[in-house]
Amino acid sequence: MRSQEFSEWIFVFLMVGILLFSGIIIALMFNKNRPKKARLGESILFGAIILGVVAAVIIAAMQMLGGILF
């Protein structure tokens, strides 16, 4: 039973992370003060945030489908 509680909190942590980083993505996309052309570092950072969100969604879906949570 202890591992199930652990898995549920990992899932909650993933959901909070997805919401947080999705908010960052939205804030960056719709920022009125951003320049027209992004610098290389900004592009890499933006891509890393998007890849992190996608990875978190995949891990959360695998936990749900694998029956680890419920």
Residues 14 and 59: beta-carbon distance below 8 Å:
yes
- Look up the domain containing 24 and give its range: 2-66
Using DSSP's 3-state secondary structure scheme, residue 1 falls into coil
Supply φ then ψ for residue 19, to 5 degrees: -65, -45
Mean pLDDT of each 10-residue bin along the chain, 70 residues long: 67 85 84 82 87 86 72
- Domain count of the fold of the chain: 1
Q: What is the pLDDT of residue 22?
A: 87
Q: Model's pTM, two decimal places?
A: 0.66
C-alpha span between 65 and 60 (Å, rounded): 9
